[in-house]
Amino acid sequence: MATDITANGNIELEEEARTQASSFFDSLEAVNLDEVTTSTVRVAFRDSRLTPQLDEEGNPLVEEGKPKMRRQFYTRIAEIENYVPMSVFNKMMTTRSRALRLRGAFLASTNEEDIPDPIITWMSEQVLAVWKQTEEDMTLECLESGLEFRKISRLFTLFFGHLLPLSVR
């Protein structure tokens, strides 16, 4: 593809280059930004709460003067905004290559310790960053306890997949 710069500084392109340049700028067609909205994602989340442990008659059990507690699990529906602020997207992009390097070392390691996969941890952290836009008190531990990997992976794809260039997916 030949490009010539004329004496007055204009760039002259061959027909093929003109067509490619034109189609590129057409692909950047303006979007009416006041019509761009976010959506809410409904996520079944396994949560828990401490409740008093009861005997057969329904009375609270007491040990050492304190009610004996048990963890009760339930499913709640979390409504999470599908909105990725620029600061969250930028952090995701800047930490991605580090997570990939750590994963390479993780896979090459012969260490048999129970170490979590760095990519899975990184994906969970990115989902958490978006989740916290809606539920500020969510923690990584709570997120990973309440969602199975398949849901975290799907949320990551939903939040970030369309933002990633094809070359880094």
pLDDT of residue 100: 83
One domain, residues 139 and 82: yes
The answer to whether 157 and 127 have CB atoms below 8 angstroms apart is no
- In terms of Cβ atoms closer than 10 Å to its own Cβ (0-12, 13-18, 19+), residue 121 is middle
The whole-angstrom separation of Cα 32 and Cα 29 is 10
> Whole-number mean pLDDT of the chain?
81
The answer to whether 123 and 103 have CB atoms below 8 angstroms apart is no
Backbone angles phi, psi at 133, to 5 degrees: -65, -25
One domain, residues 77 and 27: no
One domain, residues 30 and 48: no
pLDDT of residue 117: 83
One domain, residues 75 and 14: no
The whole-angstrom separation of Cα 5 and Cα 21 is 16
One domain, residues 79 and 158: yes
Number of domains in the chain: 2
pLDDT in tens, 78-116: 999 999 999 999 999 888 888 888 888 877 776 767 778
The answer to whether 83 and 129 have CB atoms below 8 angstroms apart is no
Structural domain range at position 22:
3-34
One domain, residues 29 and 43: no
One domain, residues 88 and 21: no
Neighbours of 119 (CB within 10 A): 16
One domain, residues 54 and 29: no
One domain, residues 23 and 46: no
Q: What is the dihedral of CA 19, 25, 27, 28, to 10 degrees?
A: 180
Residue, of 28 and 43, whose pLDDT is higher: 43
